[in-house]
Amino acid sequence: MKVLVVGSGGREHAFAWKLAQSRNVEKVYCAPGNAGIASVAECVDIPVNDFDALLDFVKYEWVDLTVVGPEDPLSKGIVDFFEKAGRKIVGPTKAAAQLEASKVFAKDFMKRNGIPTAEYKTFTSIPQAREYIEMKGMPIVVKADGLAAGKGVLVCETHEQAMEALDIVLKEKRFGEAGDRVVVEECLRGEEASYIAFCDGKTILPLASSQDHKPVFNDDKGPNTGGMGAYSPAPVVTPEIEARIIKEVMEPVVEGFKRDGIKFKGVLYAGLMIDGDKIGVLEYNCRMGDPETQPLLARLETDLFEVLMAIADEKLSEVELKWTEEPSCCVVLASGGYPDSYDKGKAITGLEEADAIEGVTVFHAGTAFNDGHVVTNGGRVLGVTALGADLKAAKEKCHEAIGKINFEGMHYRTDIGDKALKRHAS
């Protein structure tokens, strides 16, 4: 069987890496891929939103299955395009992908289907939004409506920050058309967790729990990013909490879409805030998280290709996911200046030495080749991922590997995993 992975980040590297291990897969392609993906798949220079070229490639190479990593092509209808041509592809349709593509759609959907989330209002007018913020008080969250690479959520602790956030989104248009509308919502407190499940329109198959870290600096300080690291499992998701998440957060999405005449197939991701026995949905994504994919697939023992084919064929009820007992940790190495402006083309050293450490895999996110050398080519550059006997050991392996790697301006969080370790210690 031949598989095409669409995308070029750390999530796609993890997909290609796992698929290449399948006894059912003879060839993995990735479009457009990156320097790391090139070691496990054949990279083809086709942009993720060039649907015609991607479909032509699939037909020419007799690709059996396409799996889509990033949200942008999903929101633009790549699944509809491929299915119309009779090609197997994993991901939600354009109608279902609105759940991630529009914060307004997602909040209205949650309200309509009784899914627990923060109180909110939607605005296109700065004066009206300011009036609402002054009435509600601090802290408060300002969200750009559309896709903004994980950076369109602004948590505001002060009135001044809230006013600045409105200007950034609605006046300065820093997120482009994604900021034509804003959602202003109450700030939920607690501990974040990511809950991800495979769906085939009928069956929901949960993955192991994980926890992402959005803010750029230690102790969850600084602006939000696409994600600075993750670990699995997440102790905050107890068996009791997990049962409620499935019943109150995941099942209502599939059932709600059914009522709307839409079949949700692919990956359903819920970003959650958990505070004791309170669960609130921060956001939904319609694809695997990045960087959660890296530690999750490092732990997955089931053949990923068989899972993805079961989604496409709507036979997910026949699949059982098996996981290694070893926890995993992923630390993202970012370019200097990220999540704001940053330079590209910085030489990366020490990759082979890091990868040689037992239990460590270095997933590439923003990398490219320049004269045969691997260089930086994005904000999030690498996702150093490790399995360990326990989370402490996995974290130590990550940092041992990070010690081998270097590029100009490299920065990363040193506290990925600490929340779980503190919870375990207490």
Q: Say what the alpha-carbon torsion angle 399, 381, 71, 83 is, to the nearest 10 degrees.
A: -100
165 and 233 together in one domain: no
Residues present in the chain in total = 426
73 and 145 together in one domain: no
262 and 277 together in one domain: yes
CB 235 within 8 A of CB 420: yes
d(CA 71, CA 7) in angstroms, rounded, equals: 10
387 and 406 together in one domain: yes
d(CA 283, CA 99) in angstroms, rounded, equals: 9
User: Of the candidates 186, 203, 219, which is a domain's last residue?
Assistant: 186
Task: Indicate whether 214 belongs to any domain.
Answer: yes
**Residue 141: predicted pLDDT:** 95
CB 100 within 8 A of CB 106: yes
**Residue 184: predicted pLDDT:** 96
Percent of the chain residues past pLDDT 70, beyond the cut: 99
Tokens representing residue 60 in the block: 């020419």
Instruction: Tell me the per-residue pLDDT of 225-241, one tens digit each, with 9 for 90 and over.
Output: 999 999 999 999 999 99
Phi-psi region of 136 (alpha: psi -120 to 50; beta: other; left: phi over 0): alpha
Residue 343 host element (H or E): none
196 and 308 together in one domain: yes
269 and 296 together in one domain: yes
Task: Indicate whether 104 belongs to any domain.
Answer: no
Residue 38 half-sphere exposure toward CB, CA atoms < 13 A: 13
User: DSSP per residue over 58-106, as a string?
Assistant: HHHHT--EEEE-SHHHHHTTHHHHHHHTT--EES--HHHHHHHH-HHHH
φ, ψ of residue 128 to 5 degrees: the values are -70, -40
125 and 157 together in one domain: yes
80 and 135 together in one domain: no
Can you give the CATH number for the domain in which 37 is found?
3.40.50.20
Band (426; pLDDT cuts 50, 70, 90) = low
238 and 124 together in one domain: no
DSSP 167: I
Instruction: Tell me the per-residue pLDDT of 383-403, one tens digit each, with 9 for 90 and over.
Output: 999 999 999 999 999 999 999
Rg (CA), the chain: 21
Give the chain's mean pLDDT. Answer: 96
Task: Indicate whether 75 belongs to any domain.
Answer: yes
User: Of the candidates 168, 186, 204, which is a domain's last residue?
Assistant: 186
**Residue 423: predicted pLDDT:** 77
Can you give the CATH number for the domain in which 161 is found?
3.30.1490.20
d(CA 59, CA 323) in angstroms, rounded, equals: 34
Whole-number Cα distances in Å, 101 to 48, 52, 230? 16, 22, 23
In this structure, are strands 140-144 and 367-370 parallel, antiparallel, or unpaired?
unpaired
Residues ≥6 apart with Cβ < 8 Å to 138: 156, 157, 158, 159, 162
Can you give the CATH number for the domain in which 335 is found?
3.90.600.10
Q: Which domain holds residue 39?
A: 2-92
Show the 3-state SS of 260-295. CCCCCEEEEEEEEEEECCEEEEEEEECCCCCCCHHH
Task: Indicate whether 352 belongs to any domain.
Answer: yes
φ, ψ of residue 173 to 5 degrees: the values are 55, 45
Task: Indicate whether 36 belongs to any domain.
Answer: yes
User: Of the candidates 318, 343, 370, which is a domain's last residue?
Assistant: 318
Residues ≥6 apart with Cβ < 8 Å to 223: 151, 154, 215, 216, 339, 340
Task: Indicate whether 105 belongs to any domain.
Answer: no
Instruction: Tell me the per-residue pLDDT of 193-232, one tens digit each, with 9 for 90 and over.
Output: 899 999 999 999 999 999 999 999 999 999 989 999 999 9
| Res. 252: pLDDT tops 80 | yes
CB 342 within 8 A of CB 409: yes
CB 370 within 8 A of CB 407: no
Instruction: Tell me the per-residue pLDDT of 254-296, one tens digit each, with 9 for 90 and over.
Output: 999 999 999 999 999 999 999 999 999 999 999 999 999 999 9
Instruction: Tell me the per-residue pLDDT of 20-73, one tens digit each, with 9 for 90 and over.
Output: 999 999 999 999 999 999 999 999 999 999 999 999 999 999 999 999 999 999
Percent of the chain residues past pLDDT 90, beyond the cut: 95
Task: Indicate whether 373 belongs to any domain.
Answer: yes
Counted domains in the chain: 4
417 and 377 together in one domain: yes
Give the chain's count of helices (H) and strands (E): 15, 22
23 and 80 together in one domain: yes
| Res. 149: pLDDT tops 80 | no
CB 214 within 8 A of CB 228: yes
198 and 300 together in one domain: yes
Residues ≥6 apart with Cβ < 8 Å to 302: 319, 320, 321, 322
Task: Indicate whether 222 belongs to any domain.
Answer: yes
Can you give the CATH number for the domain in which 240 is found?
3.30.470.20
In this structure, are strands 215-217 and 211-212 parallel, antiparallel, or unpaired?
unpaired
